[in-house]
Amino acid sequence: MMAAGKRPGAGLGIAAAVLAALLAAPAARSDEQPVTVVLDQARLMKLPDRVATLVIGNPLIADAALQPGGHVVLTGKGYGTTNLMALDRSGNVLMERTVQVQAPKDTVVVYSGTDRQTYSCTPKCDRRIMLGDSEAGFNLSLSQTTARNTQAQGAAR
């Protein structure tokens, strides 16, 4: 027999609402802004004391290199959002931050149908190897850059 004023399953609905609210809560504190890094650029960031290990959620988006003096160098590798965790020697999380990798602001994108080519315009516009460009233009720029760098390394020896 049911108690007066109680509906069957009412407690279950409340429990589901509490669980949904907990799952929807952000992992990072709301007063912390994401760390923004520009694609193909590095950013220096101060870490808390006693950091022994850095973890990047998606290393295709960003890379992290622990430096002496309590700093990390974050490098943008691909567009998107990931997270950075700093752990102490016992595995305790000392810090967790969201890392956003964005496109550089000095670029111009040109579309020809579905083909896309990116140019860096500082101050003169030159082709730039950029994620998302058409395969032909990307590969041409990449092969030219690789050949140039190989020649420069050979000349330096």
> In the predicted model, is pLDDT for residue 141 greater than 90?
no
Kindly state whether residues 90 and 44 are assigned to the same domain: yes
Kindly state whether residues 32 and 86 are assigned to the same domain: yes
Q: Tell me the residue range of the domain where 32 lies.
A: 28-102
Kindly state whether residues 37 and 64 are assigned to the same domain: yes
Are 108 and 118 in contact by the 8 Å Cβ rule? The answer is yes
Give the angle 66-58-82 at the CA atoms, nearest 5°.
Answer: 90
Q: Please tell me whether residue 11 adopts helix, strand or coil conformation.
A: helix
Kindly state whether residues 84 and 54 are assigned to the same domain: yes
pLDDT 10s digits, 60-114: 999 999 998 999 999 999 999 999 999 999 999 999 999 999 988 888 999 999 9
pTM: 0.66
Kindly state whether residues 79 and 126 are assigned to the same domain: no
Q: How many domains does the chain have?
A: 2
| Ramachandran bin of 153, using left for φ above 0, alpha for ψ from -120 to 50, beta for the remaining angles | alpha
Are 18 and 57 in contact by the 8 Å Cβ rule? The answer is no
Question: What's the CATH code of the domain at 53?
Answer: 2.60.40.1080
The gap from C-alpha 110 to its chain's centroid, in whole angstroms, comes to: 25
